Amino acid sequence: MATETFRRFDAANYLTDIETAAAYLQATLDESGGDPGAIADALGAIARSGNLSELARRTGMSREGLYKALSSDGNPSFATIVKVSKALGLRLEFHAIA
């Protein structure tokens, strides 16, 4: 009997363009209930889907700093989220919900 081997799911493997990445981040925002760890993790997946060294250069941060800040255990500052979003080609928007 053949055995199957499974790898852990990583959304970064499926984020092939900026539109898909933006939709993934929006879905995370909608579904996470405002969990900052989920949002940081989603930004991290988007960052890993591309060239993390180039992103680090554009944000003025180290690769290690990006990995740490953009993980589910990370606690990035709002300034980091804004810098990373802009460097990825994403724009933060706010809309009234009431």
10-residue mean pLDDT series, the chain (98 residues): 88 94 94 88 93 94 92 88 93 85
Predicted TM-score (pTM) of the model is 0.85
d(C-alpha 54, C-alpha 63), whole Å: 9
Q: How would you class 21 by CB atoms within 10 Å of its CB: exposed for 0-12, middle for 13-18, buried for 19 or more? A: buried
Domain ranges of the chain: 22-88
pLDDT at 84: 94
Residue pLDDT, tens place only, 9-26: 999 999 999 999 999 999
pLDDT at 2: 83
d(C-alpha 35, C-alpha 76), whole Å: 13
pLDDT at 98: 76
pLDDT at 10: 92
